[in-house]
Amino acid sequence: MNRFFRAARGLAGAALVLGLLACASHERAAMVPVRGGEGDRIVILPRAVPAALSGDDGRSLPEDSRWRRIGALAQGDVYRRLDARFVVRAEGREREAYLVESNGRLMGYYLPAESWFVPLSSPVRMPSWQR
């Protein structure tokens, strides 16, 4: 009986650790919005950029999509798509997403409804923006 409880505790501990690791795929983020006039920067992606999250294979930023800088996070500048709604699959659900760019690299996505930053497994080089 004692072995049963030890095994059950071990399984419960393993489940807890795995649950915490699954939650580590995103982090709380406070976006600082741009002040009036500073967010007027509209940019166009000259080519598609593959940028899938884990479990969301095939996702990319579309060629010729238009984006506006709307704020900043500690991880980089936040851009919202203007010509369509951009969504990613995170935590098993489709969620609206804004891209987060820093020093010419796509770092991940900001999910505004949840105030989450979801990093890419490795940053992706962005093409030069067209203004």
Residue 16 falls within a domain, yes or no?
A: no
Q: Which helix (H) or strand (E) holds 15?
A: helix 2-23
Tally Cβ neighbours within 10 Å of residue 90: 20
Residue 20 falls within a domain, yes or no?
A: no
pLDDT in tens, 76-101: 999 999 999 999 888 788 999 999 99
Residue 6 falls within a domain, yes or no?
A: no
Average pLDDT over residues 23-41: 76
Name residues whose C-beta falls within 8 Å of residue 66's C-beta, 6 or more positions apart in sequence.
Answer: 42, 43, 44, 81, 82, 83
Per-residue buried b or exposed e for 46-55, using 16+ beta carbons within 10 Å of the residue's own CB: eeebebebee
Residue 105 falls within a domain, yes or no?
A: yes
Question: Domain containing 47: what range?
Answer: 28-125
Q: Could you tell me what percent of the chain has a pLDDT over 70?
A: 76
Counting the structural domains of the chain, the total is 1
In 3-state terms the chain splits into helix, strand, coil percentages (rounded to 5) of 20, 45, 40
Residue 118 falls within a domain, yes or no?
A: yes
Q: Could you tell me what percent of the chain has a pLDDT over 90?
A: 50
Residue 131 falls within a domain, yes or no?
A: no
Is residue 111 predicted with pLDDT exceeding 50? yes
